[in-house]
């Protein structure tokens, strides 16, 4: 991607390694370290993932002057919730995916029972981390409680889970783009919007600033899902499970219309960030990255945020499978 300047790229890389280290620290100190469950948790969280949502929390938070040590517990908690959703989504009862992040999905590697528990444990761990008394001392109990409520709402029946269950209800049904967008705004958009809002709230943003960040996050979250659908549509032909009857943006719109929608959402993101000038460079580039990612193109920003890529196929994962 031509727009990425070296400083922004370095900033995104720094954020990512900070998050990777913090996740490593949280999980290695979570206890029960010798169990198969712990191994499954580390396998699913620590090895791969773009860390898109926690990077967003850091970048928005720093735009409003928040300190990294205040942002990190919430950024990591959001990533753990995201990882739990991926583990559960891959289970046979839902998407039935053999692959995740270029390797075997958690249930393929550890069995369904452990995968279920790993997802449950990650969701719970997220709340354990957010309610850490150290975070409360840093931010104050009222703010912590506000943030926990914000994150739980996004992951709830009013957010991610609600979107996921609506998707199941709509499978194999004909829907309009508007219905699909509403679903996507919950299933994928809610957690992404909250990742941005949590950064802003910790940074003390309120009123117009918080509203701007919210609109930026909503546009970004929807663009993220539409581009994921575009990538998926390339993948379906080689996917043993086919499209599983789930609604996909390309089943309600032509590819050109889908790309145009993504471009409009990108413009919305950039417009919302304009008042902050060059300080919002990382947030503009995150939005450009989402808009431009494609099935087989690895550009500079993908490298910067460490895209796991869908190009790694089952054979490669099987090759790496431990006996």
Interacting residues with ligand GRG (CB under 6 A): 49-50, 52, 82, 85-86, 88-89, 94, 101, 160-161, 164, 187-188, 225, 228, 308
Q: How far apart are CA 208 and CA 117, in angstroms?
A: 41
Q: How far is the CB of 222 from ligand GRG (least distance, A)?
A: 11
Q: Is 46 or 94 the residue whose CB approaches ligand GRG more closely?
A: 94
Q: How far is the CB of 219 from ligand GRG (least distance, A)?
A: 16
Q: How far apart are CA 185 and CA 12, in angstroms?
A: 25
Q: How far apart are CA 119 and CA 37, in angstroms?
A: 10
Q: How far apart are CA 128 and CA 151, in angstroms?
A: 13
Residue 104 forms beta bridges with which residues? 99
Q: Is 132 or 228 the residue whose CB approaches ligand GRG more closely?
A: 228
Q: Is 88 or 107 the residue whose CB approaches ligand GRG more closely?
A: 88
Q: Which long-range contacts (CB under 8 A, 24 or more apart) does 2-7 make?
A: 3/284, 3/285, 3/288, 4/285, 4/288, 4/299, 4/300, 4/301, 4/304, 5/281, 7/281
Buried b (16+ CB within 10 A) or exposed e, 179-190: ebbbbbbbbbbb
Q: How far is the CB of 5 from ligand GRG (least distance, A)?
A: 23
Q: Is 193 or 225 the residue whose CB approaches ligand GRG more closely?
A: 225
Q: Is 82 or 197 the residue whose CB approaches ligand GRG more closely?
A: 82
Q: How far is the CB of 166 from ligand GRG (least distance, A)?
A: 10
Q: Is 137 or 313 the residue whose CB approaches ligand GRG more closely?
A: 313
Buried b (16+ CB within 10 A) or exposed e, 34-43: eeebbebbbb
Q: How far is the CB of 132 from ligand GRG (least distance, A)?
A: 23
Q: How far is the CB of 88 from ligand GRG (least distance, A)?
A: 4
């Amino acid at each position: 991607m031509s727009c990425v300047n070296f400083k922004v790229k370095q900033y995104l890389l720094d954020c990512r390694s900070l998050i990777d280290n913090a996740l490593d620290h949280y999980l290695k100190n979570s206890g029960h370290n010798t169990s198969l469950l712990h191994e499954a948790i580390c396998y699913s969280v620590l090895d791969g993932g773009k860390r898109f949502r926690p990077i967003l929390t850091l970048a928005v938070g720093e735009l409003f002057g928040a300190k990294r040590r205040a942002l990190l517990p919430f950024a990591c908690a959001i990533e753990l919730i995201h990882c739990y959703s991926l583990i559960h989504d891959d289970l046979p009862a839902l998407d039935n995916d053999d692959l995740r992040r270029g390797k075997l999905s958690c249930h393929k590697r550890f069995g369904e029972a452990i995968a279920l528990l790993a997802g449950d444990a990650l969701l719970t761990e997220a709340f354990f981390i957010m309610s850490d008394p150290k975070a409360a001392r840093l931010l104050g109990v009222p703010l912590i409680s506000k943030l926990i409520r914000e994150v739980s709402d996004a992951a709830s029946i009013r957010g991610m889970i609600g979107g996921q269950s609506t998707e199941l209800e709509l499978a194999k049904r004909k829907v309009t783009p508007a219905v699909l967008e509403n679903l996507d705004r919950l299933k994928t958009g809610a957690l992404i919007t909250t990742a941005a809002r949590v950064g802003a709230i910790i940074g003390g943003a309120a009123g117009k600033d918080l509203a701007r960040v919210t609109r930026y996050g909503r546009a970004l979250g929807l663009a993220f899902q539409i581009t994921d659908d575009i990538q998926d549509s390339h993948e379906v032909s080689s996917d043993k499970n086919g499209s599983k009857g789930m609604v996909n943006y390309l089943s309600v719109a032509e590819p050109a219309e889908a790309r145009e929608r993504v471009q409009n959402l990108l413009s919305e993101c950039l417009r919302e960030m304009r008042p902050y000038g060059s300080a919002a460079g990382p947030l503009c580039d995150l939005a450009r990255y989402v808009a431009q990612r494609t099935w087989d193109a690895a550009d500079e920003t993908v490298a910067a945020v460490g895209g796991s890529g869908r190009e790694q196929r089952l054979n490669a994962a099987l090759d790496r499978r431990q006996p």
